[in-house]
Amino acid sequence: HHRNTLQFNRDSHRKQLFYIGVRVSVELLSESAPSPVLFVVRQKQAVLSFQVPLILRGLYQRKYQYTQLGRTLCQPPTKAVAETQFFFVDVSTLSSAGVQYQLRVSRVDRFTLQTDKKFSFNATPSQPQFFRYVFPEGVDTVIVKVNSQKNFPCSVMSIQDIQCPVYDLDNNVAFIGMYQTMTTTAAITVQRKDFPSNSFYVVVVVKTEDEACGGSLRFYPLLPERSLESVGRSRHESLSSVEEDDYDTLADIDSDKNIVRTKKFLCVSDLARKDKRILSKKYQIYFWNIATIAVFYALPVIQLVITYQTVVNVTGNQDICYYNFLCAHPLGALSSFNNILSNLGYVLLGLLFLLIVLQRDILHNRALERNENTALECGIPKHFGLYYAMGTALMMEGLLSACYHVCPNYTNFQFDTSFMYMIAGLCMLKLYQKRHPDINASAYSAYACLAAVIFFSVLGVVFGKGNTAFWIIFSVIHILATLLLSTQLYYMGRVCVCVSDSGILRRMLNVIYTDCIRQCSGPMYIDRMVLLVMGNIVNWSLAAYGLIKRPNDFASYLLAIAICNLLLYFAFYIIMKLRSGERIQCLALVCILFTAVVWGFALFFFFQGLSTWQKTPAESREHNRECILLSFFDDHDIWHFLSSIAMFGSFLVLLTMDDDLDTVQRDKIYVF
């Protein structure tokens, strides 16, 4: 048993203690030692101990041995203006043979970080580094950034209070404070109010393995030159239940619509035969249903994200949420308030759209009360229930997107997309309803289909990653649903497919043989056939893409399917409207052009990709970027602003595109 005690001291003025650190470095010179050498550093109010060689553990109980160590000593508080601080290093070993080691105690002159000034340093798993930052007068919030020139080794940046001990090893760095894993970039926003001493430690630890950052398990040697900067940002800136069947009592309605729909060319009057009061009640159910869905969906979402944010604040684990840390402005307990605030546009524009629809609804009802002929017999039948549902869905998209951005990650991404599916589905239903008011889907069947879409979205997020069986099943269902919907649209809802109907397949094959092979007659409804053929090509292509590529972001893939079908239907409607001799009024034309331009800019900012939960948190931070608008909003915030305007514009297009028909008799308006 061998033991030595070494004494060191430093004479310093109290103010200088904040700017100068002390580092103890040890290197084991003996090639092999039967027992480790133990080092205990005793300071005033602090003790630091370690052994050489140092053994750190990784996954699957892998062991990593280091013979070179370097540790910076923490700084116990002192009240004296000037004093001599002593610390002792006890060295002991149980080895019977002599052990050679080299011990060095050195000053760390650049121990205190300076605002807006970079400097470089080296670190290894056994030689972590930490530095001190003191808030200058007038600065309440800073962003601490660490950059590395290469992706690996995987590292951790931690923000810790000024106290002893400092947790600066791979196996304890997550115990206190806030931390992030990193490959090339890390950024943590720190507020003065969270640190009573107006200062904090910035700790950088290199992990023994790269698995936490998405790398392989093999160990990487030290790669030099990490730079660290602390950027101050002044907080003085201004931050800126009615059922359709209850009313539809006409006994011969089914036979009547079967006869009507055998006409070669249909007019709107042929598919607007039901009592307008019945249809108004039917379509108002869309609004009340989505309002009910919104309440029951939003409440647990809000509760969950509050829990997420609480966990982040309590544990300090900033790997839970995938923010753009280079532009994350906290407000109270919210870590990235700018991403939440930018969703306000959806809510305000959704409310504005509801007010515009309400005004049109009131004017139309007054015209009906005066028995005006244009309101009774002319134009596209005006039913506003779906418009109210669309406005509500836009507001809910803003609320749920804000909830998602409280803590964006893999498990809650569906909050951000659920009402996007709703919006796409409602817009398609509204387009179809314009010319088919009598045979449009009921609210119950429509929302049931949307619920099935969201159900598949959840399944895709949980099971879709690299799962061949899931993608085969989904692609088959996608193609079958496309064929079934195409048949229903082509025959305007007069094809009945029942589960118990065992002869349906035989009859379908017989129709194909008779019409397409035996006599090869052309389709009766060419325009509709063109749309459906194009729609099938697009959907089959999307199904093939999903089956071959199997994208990790299944929710976005599903949303892309919905948006492609909506855009295809939109384009078909406008083309057929112009082909039928109708015209688009100036207001609607301006809305179309303006919306197309805004969508283009919005998608540009959407594809910037400032973070991605498909990768590890450290890899996600490689995509982080600085604020680009008012030093407060980032690219994704601009996507929120522009997409909310574009959606509002799209709704206005739907609302106004058939205003030119308000004085045209319905028996002169074609169905397509």
Structure confidence by residue, pLDDT tens digits, 269-288: 888 777 777 788 888 999 99
What tokens appear for 23 in the block? Answer: 């580092």
CA 628/CA 45 separation, integer angstroms: 46
Cβ proximity of 313 and 407 under 8 Å: no
Task: Determine the CATH number of domain 1-109.
Answer: 2.60.120
Pairing of strands 82-93, 37-43: antiparallel
Instruction: Look at residue 261 and tell me whether its pLDDT is greater than 60.
Output: no
Q: What is the DSSP string of 7-45?
A: EEEEEEEGGGGGT-EEEEEEEE-SS--SSPEEEEEEETT
Contacts of 297 (CB under 8 A, 6+ apart): 396, 400, 418
CA 318/CA 379 separation, integer angstroms: 57
Q: Where are the beta strands (DSSP E) in 183-261?
A: 185-191, 199-206, 226-233
What tokens appear for 98 in the block? Answer: 């002599």
Closest to 467 measured CA to CA, from 559, 411, 547? 547
Q: What is the pLDDT of residue 596?
A: 94
Structure confidence by residue, pLDDT tens digits, 3-15: 677 777 765 544 5
CA 585/CA 274 separation, integer angstroms: 29
| Residue whose pair of structure tokens reads 């001190």 in the numeric block | 132
CA 462/CA 156 separation, integer angstroms: 28
Residue 82's pLDDT band (boundaries 50, 70, 90)?
A: low
CA 28/CA 519 separation, integer angstroms: 92
Global model pTM greater than 0.85:
no
Fill in the amino acid letter for 162. I
The order of strands in the sheet holding 199-206 is 129-134, 199-206, 155-160, 178-182
Structure confidence by residue, pLDDT tens digits, 303-348: 998 898 889 888 889 999 999 999 999 988 888 999 999 999 999 9
Q: What is the pLDDT of residue 197?
A: 87
Instruction: Look at residue 218 and tell me whether its pLDDT is greater than 90.
Output: no
Question: Where exactly are the structural domains of the chain?
Answer: 1-109, 112-214, 267-456+552-657
Fill in the amino acid letter for 301. V
